[in-house]
């Protein structure tokens, strides 16, 4: 009986991955063709520990390049522009998690490079949250979240997000 339950769970996870990737393609993001630049420092983008995946902070690369979006939200970027940048970071994260065979998101932590007077951090990080719910549906894509401001981020990136995720078939 347990083997049957595990098999049903595995089939469901595979189906969800296929549907998620189909939704991403419909949104214009093909993970099989998506380029995520190598880290600019000494670390790996995703670490698997048992059944958990932990991502490093993902900074906002412009699509298909190793060029960062640089600057502060509220100064060089509007909330709407930064919201789109957060979506792009989520796609980069999904590509790295796909490479480690992740299945569900549990926690999203978002840091917004902004001046002290800026107060719409949650609206910016919504770009990543909304994409994850669109792609995985509310059951898998919904997650706990932190959105905070920072006076500066690595390489003057506009945003930095990191995630914790459950992994199928962990050790």
Residue 159 has pLDDT above 90, yes or no: yes
**Contact by Cβ (8 Å): 108, 132:** yes
As a whole-number percent, the residues of the chain with pLDDT over 70 amount to 85
Note the pLDDT tens digit of each residue in 101-142: 655 667 888 999 999 889 999 999 999 989 988 988 877 777
pLDDT of residue 81: 95
- What is the helix (H) or strand (E) element at residue 69, kind and residue range? none
Residue 117's nearest CA partner among 147, 57, 156, 72 is 72
**Alpha carbon distance 168, 171 (integer Å):** 9
The residue assigned the tokens 């002290």 is 116
Residue 71 DSSP label: S
Report which of 8, 39, 56 is spatially closest to residue 165, judged by C-alpha positions. 56
All structural domains of the chain: 2-167 (3.30.1330.40)
> What's the pLDDT score for residue 83?
94
Could you give the percent of the chain with pLDDT greater than 90? 31
């Amino acid at each position: 009986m347990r083997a049957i339950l595990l098999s049903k769970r595995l089939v469901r996870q595979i189906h969800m991955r296929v549907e998620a990737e189909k939704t991403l393609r419909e949104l214009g993001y093909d993970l099989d063709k998506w380029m995520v630049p190598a880290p600019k420092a000494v670390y790996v983008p995703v670490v698997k520990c048992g059944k958990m995946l932990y991502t490093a902070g993902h900074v906002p690369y412009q699509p298909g390049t190793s060029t960062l979006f640089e600057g502060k939200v509220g100064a060089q970027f509007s909330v709407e522009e930064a919201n789109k940048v957060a979506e792009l970071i989520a796609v980069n994260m999904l590509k790295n998690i796909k490479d480690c065979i992740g299945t569900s998101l549990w926690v999203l932590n978002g840091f917004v490079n902004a001046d002290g007077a800026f107060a719409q951090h949650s609206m910016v990080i919504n770009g990543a949250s909304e994409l994850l719910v669109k792609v995985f549906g509310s059951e898998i894509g919904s997650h706990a979240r932190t959105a905070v401001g920072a006076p500066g981020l690595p390489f003057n990136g506009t945003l930095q997000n990191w995630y914790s995720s459950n992994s199928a078939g962990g050790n």
